Amino acid sequence: MADDFDALMSGMGVKRLDKKTAIPPSKKAKTKVVRRKRTDVSTLPKATPQDAAVTVERIEALERGLELARTQREESETKVKQLKKKIKRLKLEVDAANQAASEPHEPLVHVLSRWGYSTPEDRLVIASHDGWLERFLGTVVPSDLASLEADLRGQFLRVCSDCKAPAGKTALPSARAECMVCGGFDLSRETRKFLDAVLINGRLRVVIVGRDTENQREVRDHVVDSRLVLTQIPGSSRREVSQARTDVEHSDAVIIWDPSSVAPELLEVYRTAPIVGEIPAGPLGALLAGAAAIVGQQ
C-alpha cells in the first residue's frame, strides 16, 4: 500500500522527503568578538613640564581670545544702540521738518516787522550786509525762524546818531531813548559821575562782573583813568570760587551787571562784598549811572 502511494506521488513529480534527503537547518553564524588588550598605564608616555607649559599657554590664549570676542561684542552692541537712538532722533527731526513744511509760511516782511525791524531803513541795512540778502531771498521755513532771529539780534544793534556800534556789530538807526549803547543817557556825563564817585569816596578798586566780553569792552572804551583799578569779569568766563573770594578781598566795591549771567556759586560770593550792588542787563549808560550810585553809597 505504501509502495503504491509512493509510486503515485512519484508519477505526479513529488519527491519524497525523509531523513536522508531533508535539508538540515542552517546554523546561526557566531559573532566574532574582538577583545582589545588593556593598556598598561605604566606604558603611557609621561607628561613633561614643557607639555604642561604649552597647555597653560594654550588655555591663556583661548581665554584672551574669548575676552577679546566678548569685548568686541559689547562694543558692537553699544554702537547698535547708539545708531538706533540716532535713527530715532533723525526720524523725529524729519517728522518735525515735514510738519513745519506743511504749515503756511508767513511773509518774511511780516516776520521782520514782528521782531521790530519794521522800517524800510532797517530792512535796507540788513539786506545790504554781507550774506543777508541771500538768506532773505532763500526759502525760510518756520523751523529756521528762531535761529534767524538770534542771528539778527547778534549782528544788528539799535544805535543812535551820538553813539557808535561796538566792534563786530552793525548799527541800525534808532532814537536816543531806544539806543542800546547809551540808553538815552549822556555817556560823557555818566562817565564823569562814575569817576567822581570813585575818587571822592576813595574806592579806587572796582570789580564789574557779568554780561559778555563785548559789553565789558564798551565799559573799557569809555571809562579810562589811570588812578582807577578796574577789574572786569565777563559772566561767561570760567572762574573758581576761590578766585571770586580773592576778587572780593582785593576790591573796594563790586558791581554785578546782569546777575543772571553770573554762575550761582560765584554770585553768592560776590554778594558778600561790603560795597556791592546789582544792575540789570541794559545799555552802557544805565550801567554807568547805577555804578556811580553803588560806589557812592555810604
Q: What distance in Å separates the CA atoms of residue 163 and residue 166, rounded to the nearest whole number? A: 9
| CB-based contact 220:242 (threshold 8 Å) | no
Query: Are residues 215 and 271 located together in one domain of the fold?
Result: yes
Query: Are residues 195 and 286 located together in one domain of the fold?
Result: yes
Which is more confident, 199 or 39? 199
For residue 214, with 0-12 CB atoms within 10 Å meaning exposed, 13-18 middle and 19 or more buried, which class applies? middle
| pLDDT, tens digit, 9 for 90 and up, residues 73-132 | 999 998 998 898 889 888 888 887 777 666 556 677 777 888 888 888 888 888 888 877
- In order, the DSSP letters of 24-35 are PPPPPPPPPPPP
> What confidence score (pLDDT) does residue 53 get?
75
Q: What distance in Å separates the CA atoms of residue 131 and residue 167, rounded to the nearest whole number? A: 18
> What confidence score (pLDDT) does residue 40 get?
55
Number of CB atoms found within 10 A of residue 173's CB: 13
Beta-strand relationship, 253-257 and 229-233: unpaired
- CA distance to 63, 68, 90, per residue, from 76 (Å): 20, 12, 21
Task: Flag whether 31 is in a domain.
Answer: no
- Min mean pLDDT across 3-17, 118-132, 180-194 is at 3-17
Give me 258's grid cell. Answer: 546782569
| The pLDDT of residue 42 is above 70 | no
| pLDDT, tens digit, 9 for 90 and up, residues 118-173 | 888 888 888 888 877 777 776 566 667 788 888 888 888 899 988 888 878 888 98
CATH number at residue 278: 3.40.50
Whole-structure pTM value: 0.57
Q: Whole domain around residue 244: which residue ranges?
A: 187-295
